[in-house]
A and B are shown apart, each in its own frame.
Chain A
Amino acid sequence: MQRNGFKYANLFLMFLLTLFIFSLIFQIITHTDPVSLSTNIISPEIQFAIRLSLLTSVISTFMCILVAVPVSYSLARYDFHGKAIINTVLDLPMALPPIVAGLGLLLIFGTTSVGSFLADAGLKFVFTVPGIIMAQFAVNISLMLRIMRSTFESINPRYEHVAQTLGCTPFHAFIRTTLPLSKNGMIAGSVITWSRGMGEFGAVLMLAGATRMKTETLPIALYLNMSSGELDLAIAAATILILISGITLYLFERKGGVAKLY
């Protein structure tokens, strides 16, 4: 009897939590009727936000891949002094609140000579679309690094050794063996990075600002419309973000493989 009581108490709490999460999603989706939901989704403002979010998150994901592959390869394969410190620094953005990272970015690009040099060269990040991409990159790179690092660590370096003895340069050996073998980790990392880029709010708000129809990504659209009382538009943006989360979770479960997320 006592054993059953314990079991049912645990199960009850589990069902309660499931119900809680289900209802918060259900509330958003059912708050407006399907007709007005679809009208709001095809409204110019939400269409703009979808396109901008897609564009910026795809670009920032590619940037994350390009940087994460060589950097995480270094962390996985080479031994050097200060590796532990570098590792901690590179992991930091993952633990840092995005809004704090955004503040740092704003200070770098808005107040330093590096920032003004880049601005003079035509690369303006403050309150611009490139700023959105930079903010997404800065917040998500740590996660990509971790996934790629554990992926590379799970691949025996001897594949490359064999390829090198058979005529490959070190770079070619990597391209022919380790890189194709890291496909699943790279897909998993890209999906999660892309999805977090779509949803990134705090850092984007700080660096790129929240300007309607200019730097208005989906989360910014949600925030702007909530502030101005346009609940239906906010819900349209939220519904799309929910949809993306669902797709991401599904893809990640299927392609996750060796890459462990947290």
Chain B
Amino acid sequence: MIEVSDLSIELGEFELESINLCVKEGEYFCILGPTGSGKTILLESIAGIYKPDLGSIMINNHDVTELLPKDRNISVVYQDFMLFPNMNIRDNIGFGLKYKGFEKLEIADKVERTAELLGIAHLLDRHSSTLSGGEKQRTAIARAIITEPDLLLLDEPLSALDSGTKSRLRQELLRVHQLKKTTTIHVTHSFEEAFALADRIAIMHGGKIHQIGTPDEVFRKPNSAFVADFVGVENLFHGTSVIRDNLSEIWANGLTIISSTLKSGNVSVSIRPEDILISKDPIDSSAQNSFSGVLTEITRMKSTVNLVIDSGIPFRVVLTKRAYDDMGLYVGSWVYLTFKASATHII
């Protein structure tokens, strides 16, 4: 268990103000915030790179506030990989074991097995400059988990990767976490990423933590305007998917939603609010998804109106002012929602 209590630190123009966090054993915890919110400093303070001005950090009931990074039994993975350019992949992965007093043969064996786990065993004798971004990040993850840390710290580990690699590596992080059950703190600015990975999320802004909760709690019940604005008006929810007739059927809270993205098992789904068509009567169309529900919330923005319609899942929909006025809607109206299978993204 990781406990951060009243942690404050001032570093040039960055500042952390009285941070309190508790991450449970084996939990996958995401710290979510925009650039400059102080989340990397928080991560590096937990790692012991910076000494806090005030407060304490406990790892598994040991006070590590005054300890050097090497004595905390933690590992860090950075966005920009930070593979040592003066070593090959094998030596990079095995780096930490040398300092933990392992024998040469044991190191060779562990490196081999960890590289296999991450699917990079064939790259061991290569130099990092010849690897792709995804391969580099797999190496960095292997180097971090091989020492079996009590806490794995990930600083925007997917941000430098292209979208295909990003989603593969996200699956990989989940798989490794399920296998190793290492307590993980993952810093990101992407709500989608946090939503797909985290057991719980902390929202950070201006050096403070604004809200801590499960992804659903943070998304459905943001406790401040900043959190609401930051997590956005995307429709995001979890469900179980099966593939049938070349389409995914996702069962989520009593609804069956059809998606053209093919993926089965437990999935996260997103639908852009502007892709949902609303009407007062059922409409006949080629779109695969059609539901009905009660209009529960109306928020007027500058040129648009945001609506929330509850049909088992609360759907967020955006209308232009003109369309909203023409439809004559009010809270409590019964409306119909229609959207295409191709507008339903499995992330």
Cβ-based interface call for A163 (8 A): yes
Residues of chain B within 8 A (CB-CB) of A158 are: 78, 80, 82
Shortest CB-to-CB span from A157 to chain B, Å, is: 9
- Does A51 have its Cβ within 8 Å of any Cβ on chain B? no
Near A by CB (< 8 A), chain B positions 193-225 give: none
Determine whether the beta carbon of A164 is less than 8 Å from that of B70. yes
A–B pairs, 9, beta carbons within 8 Å? A159-B84, A161-B78, A163-B95, A165-B48, A165-B72, A166-B75, A166-B96, A166-B147, A180-B86
Is the Cβ of B82 less than 8 Å from the Cβ of A167?
no
Q: Name the interface residues of B74-112: CB closer than 8 Å to any CB of A.
A: 74-76, 78, 80, 82, 84-86, 95-96, 98-100
- Chain B residues, Cβ within 8 Å of A159: 82, 84
A170 close to B (CB within 8 Å):
yes
B76–A161 CB distance below 8 A: yes
| CA distance in complex: A142, B98 (Å) | 38
Query: How many residues on A have C-beta within 8 angstroms of the other chain's C-beta atoms?
Result: 19
B12 close to A164 (CB less than 8 A)? no
Whole-angstrom CA separation of A167 from B147 in the bound complex: 10
Do B12 and A162 touch (CB < 8 A)? no
Residues of B within 8 A of A167 (CB): 70, 96, 98-100, 147
Check if A164 sits within 8 Å of B68, measured CB to CB. yes
Bound form: Cα–Cα A158–B85 in Å: 13
Most central of A158, A159, A165, A176 by chain B CB within 10 Å: A165
- Distance in angstroms between the alpha carbons of A156 and B49 in the assembled complex: 14
- B48, B69, B76, B98 interface centre (most CB from chain A within 10 Å): B69
Contact B86 A181 (CB under 8 A): yes
| A181 CA / B147 CA spacing, docked (Å) | 24
Residues 3-36 of A, flagged 1 when their CB comes within 8 A of B and 0 if not, give: 0000000000000000000000000000000000
Q: Which of A162, A170, A177 has the most CB of B within 10 A?
A: A162
Closest to B98 in A: A167
For window 121-161 of chain B, which residues contact chain A by CB distance below 8 Å? 143, 147, 153
| Contacts A156-B82, A166-B147; A161 near B47 (Cβ below 8 A) | yes
Give residues 146-188 of A contacting B (CB, 8 Å): 156, 158-159, 161-170, 172, 176-177, 180-181
- Tell me, yes or no, whether A79 is within 8 Å of chain B by CB: yes
Complex Cα–Cα for A177 and B72 (A): 20
Q: Give 1 or 0 for each of B303-328: 1 = CB within 8 Å of chain A CB.
A: 00000000000000000000000000
